[in-house]
């Protein structure tokens, strides 16, 4: 699904000395590289504060801790996402409230959010799934009206732009009160291990979060709040700092691959190619509202299991993200949910298939992949 080796070979000469430098200076924890990367990412995103941490799941948890959410507070999030989002809500003894998504862009449905709001609702966690933002303009409006926090799960959309209806563009993850991202190796900006970060434009929240990530300390050995130990190590920061200048090109490579896939599948009736929902209406050459963390098709009248098997037999990797709605996962089943309220997610889990998507994918590989799929479908 990804070609991390090919990507590494192309940037070896920058990454290796960057790692070597950390080893030579032995500042493995909170070294200058972490600070450097933090500053560079703040500039890239146009956000006041980036707080690096150990992984994307921690980033979400720490964001919720920083906002002071309390047990029993209800937090609304999408039924169709990776479990990390709902996991941290449950871990903090907050009450997850799963809602359905849109069938066109797979993102959280705004009307479903509105229906789910109760006097106990304290936050909304939109997940920018597969590389494009949820409908942030509408979500921020709902949040304002009901006095709710917005925590963006930006693990899959780093570098994506969100375009407001007035044409103004901002980076995904910098719109809500706080954003969380992951630098897991296969993410759009991945390190060589685990890593994550929290973004915010709120000075006070940033200060609180800087303590939370470090055992609740604001002054050495003074523990003012219950915190966690969640750090981005300096070697990972060195990798990320070497890769950050390439992020736009990496995302561009993904968009080009998506464009090529889309063009090839255009005439195939049983395939619904990914839709761009934002103010960008098409995969345009000069916009980056979708950064294609995954290239996910919907199959209509195709036996997905048979297609997966066929692809595997032809040594073509593929994935089903996600095969089970969160409201049906054993850990998160709850009497509060009515299966009827999750029509879209229930449908999508049966239809979706994600194809290889990475920065090293070339036209020849895409032609090979698409021709095998099209031949299978046309029998």
Ligand X SMILES: *Cc1c(COP(=O)(O)O)cnc(C)c1O
Binding site for ligand X (CB under 6 A): 55-57, 81-82, 84-85, 127, 153, 155-156, 182, 184, 194, 196
Rounded Cα–Cα distance for residues 104 and 344 (Å): 10
Handedness of CA 298, 310, 365, 254 (dihedral sign): positive
For residues 254 and 260, which CB has a smaller minimum distance to ligand X in the complex? 254
Contact call for residues 111 and 137 (beta carbons, < 8 A): no
CB of 345 to ligand X, least distance (A): 15
Question: What count of residues does the chain have?
Answer: 379
CB-based contacts of 240, cutoff 8 Å, min separation 6: 37, 41, 183, 189, 191, 195, 232
User: What Å distances lie between residue 162 and 130, 158, 201, 256, 374, CA to CA?
Assistant: 14, 11, 16, 19, 33
Nearest to 183 by CA among 212, 206, 154, 209: 154
Provide the minimum distance between the beta carbon of 18 and ligand X in the complex, in angstroms, as a whole number. 21
Q: Are 212 and 225 in contact (CB under 8 A)?
A: yes
What's the min distance (Å) between Cβ of 217 and ligand X?
A: 23
- Using CB atoms, what's the residue nearest to ligand X? 56
Q: Name which of 132 and 370 has its Cβ closer to ligand X.
A: 132
Phi, psi angles (nearest 5°) of residue 158: -65, 130
Q: Angle at the Cα of 199 (from 254 to 70), degrees rounded to 5?
A: 125
Say which residues have a Cβ less than 8 Å from residue 48's Cβ, sequence separation at least 6.
Answer: 42, 200, 201, 202, 203, 206
Nearest approach in angstroms of CB 152 to ligand X is: 10
Q: In terms of CB distance, is 135 or 153 closer to ligand X?
A: 153
Q: From the CB of 156, what's the least distance to ligand X, in Å?
A: 5
Query: Of the two residues 180 and 302, which places its CB atom closer to ligand X in the complex?
Result: 180
Q: Which is nearer to ligand X, 82 or 342 (CB)?
A: 82
Q: How far is the CB of 132 from ligand X (least distance, A)?
A: 13
Q: Give me the least distance between CB of 83 and ligand X, in Å please.
A: 8
Nearest one of 195, 133, 189, 180 to 160, comparing CA atoms: 133
Taking the least distance from each CB to ligand X, the nearer of 85 and 264 is 85
Element holding 171 (H helix, E strand): strand 169-171
Least separation in angstroms between residue 288's CB and ligand X is: 19
| Nearest to ligand X of 85, 132 (CB atom) | 85
Specify the residue, 45 or 307, whose C-beta has the smaller distance to ligand X. Answer: 45
Q: Which residue has the tokens 């996600």?
A: 322
């Amino acid at each position: 699904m990804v070609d991390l080796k090919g990507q590494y070979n192309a940037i070896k000469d920058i990454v290796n000395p960057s790692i070597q430098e950390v080893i030579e200076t032995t500042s493995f924890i909170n070294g200058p590289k972490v600070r450097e990367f933090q500053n560079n990412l703040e500039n890239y995103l146009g956000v006041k504060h980036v707080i690096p941490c150990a992984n994307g799941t921690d980033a979400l948890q720490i964001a919720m801790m920083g906002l002071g959410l309390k047990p029993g507070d209800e937090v609304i999030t999408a039924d169709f996402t990776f479990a990390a989002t709902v996991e941290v809500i449950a871990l903090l003894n907050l009450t997850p409230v799963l809602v359905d998504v849109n069938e066109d862009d797979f993102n959280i449905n705004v009307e479903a959010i509105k229906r789910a709001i109760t006097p106990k609702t304290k936050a909304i966690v939109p997940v920018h799934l597969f590389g494009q933002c949820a409908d942030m303009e509408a979500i921020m409006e709902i949040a304002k009206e009901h006095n709710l926090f917005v925590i963006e799960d930006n693990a899959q959309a780093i570098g994506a732009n969100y375009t407001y209806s007035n044409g103004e563009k901002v980076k995904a993850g910098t719109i809500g009160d706080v954003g969380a991202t992951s630098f897991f190796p296969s993410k759009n900006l991945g390190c060589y291990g685990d890593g994550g970060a929290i973004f915010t434009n709120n000075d006070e929240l940033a200060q609180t979060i800087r303590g939370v990530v470090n055992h609740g300390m604001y002054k050495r050995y003074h523990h003012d709040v219950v915190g966690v130990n969640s750090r981005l190590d300096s070697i990972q920061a060195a990798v990320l700092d070497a890769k950050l200048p390439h992020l736009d090109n990496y995302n561009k490579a993904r968009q080009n691959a998506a464009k090529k896939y889309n063009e090839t599948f255009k005439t195939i009736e049983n395939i619904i190619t990914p839709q761009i929902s934002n103010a960008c209406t098409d995969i345009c050459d000069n916009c980056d509202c979708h950064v294609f963390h995954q290239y996910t098709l919907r199959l209509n009248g195709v036996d997905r299991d048979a297609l997966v098997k066929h692809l595997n037999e032809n040594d073509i990797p593929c994935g089903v993200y996600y095969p089970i709605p969160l409201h049906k996962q054993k850990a998160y089943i709850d009497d509060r949910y009515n299966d009827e309220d999750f029509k879209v997610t229930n449908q999508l889990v049966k239809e979706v298939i994600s194809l290889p998507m990475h920065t090293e994918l070339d036209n020849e590989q895409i032609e090979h992949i698409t021709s095998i799929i099209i031949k299978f479908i046309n029998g």
